[in-house]
Amino acid sequence: MSTTPFSLGTFAEATGSPFPGIVVDGKVYDTRTVLPEAATTRDLLADWEAALEALQSLADAPEAGLGRPVGDLRVLAPVQPPGQIIAAGANYREHVIQITVAHRLGKADATPEELREQAAREVDERRANGDPYVWVGAPSAINGPYDDVVLPSLGENHDWELELGVIIGREAREVSPAEALDHVAGYTICNDMTTRSLVPRPEIPMMGTDWMRSKNQPGFYPTGPYVVPARFVSDPQDLDITLKLNGKVMQKGNTGDMIFDIASLISYASHRLVLQPGDMLITGSPEGNGSHYGRFLRAGDVMESEITGLGTQRTVCS
């Protein structure tokens, strides 16, 4: 028997409270009709294996008349309440090479071609023998997929970083890469926005980068629209990632360019903290950030973001 594809999300009417639902053929079905004890998507993820089968049954045979057009509802960030954000940086091969050449991170007299060759060798060495670069973000910064974002007055050069989000569906502690994907509930879209001027700490250079102050302003993680269950994503390492700014393509990449794949990132993180159901691992961003173009976000800008099979976001800056 074939299974009907569906997505999981959190929705609200204009004057109502948020509720968990699945989207089937453009209609939203309240999951509380089959799992009344699960009041939130986080509750569903807490026992994902059992919940998945109940949700699949609902998707396969939805009750006539109970579905509401998704366009009639507000779409919130899909996981409510949000879990931890575990973020990977410098994780796309071409992106790292591009940064190395742009900032001349090598011999002062090297040509761009020599810098590119050097960066490629270093990336390949890191992939073979190194570790991912991972930090933790604030759930309070998560924003809905169609909500506006207010660009803060603190800092300058606000930037975009479109990323594949991996939603954890089973506790992961010290798991191997071979086991890691068994802990994934599904996939979503996340724009890991960053205030570039706040990344360095020149007064304490020995401390390196400051991701807390540069990435966690309110609304700086537009997420969603939905979580697409892993069973409906045939190859998460072959998804196109596209971000447009005011209609112009700025980022265009593929998850196959990751230096450390999803399984490796989960395994690495799980040996350093416990991943809980509802946590989101964001996996790095391909080339084409504002830093590359020297063009940063301004009030009135519109970002449109898409990852193959996961839907689209639209974020207006104010």
> Between the CA of residue 224 and those of 8, 76, 162, 309, what are the distances in Å?
10, 8, 12, 12
Number of structural domains (the chain) is: 3
**Residues 250 and 188 occupy one common structural domain:** yes
**DSSP symbol at 179:** H
Q: What is the residue-wise DSSP string for 96-132? A: HHHHHHHTT-S-TT--HHHHHHHHHHHHHHHHHH---
**pLDDT for the residue numbered 1:** 53
**pLDDT for the residue numbered 228:** 99
Residue 20 domain-assigned?
A: yes
Residue 38 sits in which domain range?
A: 7-76
**Residues 15 and 113 occupy one common structural domain:** no
**pLDDT for the residue numbered 295:** 98
Residue 1 domain-assigned?
A: no
Residue 216 domain-assigned?
A: yes
**Residues 19 and 115 occupy one common structural domain:** no
**Residues 263 and 208 occupy one common structural domain:** yes
**Residues 111 and 244 occupy one common structural domain:** no
Q: What is the pLDDT along the chain (318 residues), one digit of tens a residue?
A: 579 999 999 999 988 899 999 999 999 999 999 999 999 999 999 999 999 999 999 999 998 778 999 999 999 999 999 999 999 999 999 999 888 887 777 777 888 888 888 889 999 999 999 999 999 999 999 999 999 999 999 999 999 999 999 999 999 999 999 999 999 999 999 999 999 999 999 999 999 999 999 999 999 999 999 999 999 999 999 999 999 999 999 999 999 999 999 999 999 999 999 999 999 999 999 999 999 999 999 999 999 999 999 999 999 999
Rounded Cα distance, 115 and 163, in Å: 26
**Residues 290 and 164 occupy one common structural domain:** yes
Q: Tell me the Cα Rg of the chain.
A: 20
Residue 2 domain-assigned?
A: no
The candidate with the shortest Cα–Cα distance to 163, out of 51, 282, 275, 261, is 282
> Between the CA of residue 102 and those of 112, 198, 200, 280, 292, what are the distances in Å?
8, 19, 17, 30, 8
First to last CA, the chain: 48
Residue 163 domain-assigned?
A: yes
CATH code assigned at 210:
3.90.850.10
**Residues 97 and 163 occupy one common structural domain:** no
**Residues 71 and 173 occupy one common structural domain:** no
**pLDDT for the residue numbered 15:** 86
**Residues 143 and 56 occupy one common structural domain:** no
**Residues 18 and 137 occupy one common structural domain:** no
Residue 151 domain-assigned?
A: yes
Answer yes or no: are the C-beta atoms of 44 and 167 closer than 8 Å.
Answer: no
Residue 159 domain-assigned?
A: yes
Rounded Cα distance, 165 and 281, in Å: 6
Answer yes or no: are the C-beta atoms of 187 and 223 closer than 8 Å.
Answer: no
Answer yes or no: are the C-beta atoms of 77 and 42 closer than 8 Å.
Answer: no
**Residues 103 and 222 occupy one common structural domain:** no
**pLDDT for the residue numbered 114:** 86
The candidate with the shortest Cα–Cα distance to 28, out of 12, 42, 41, is 12
**Residues 142 and 283 occupy one common structural domain:** yes
**pLDDT for the residue numbered 78:** 99
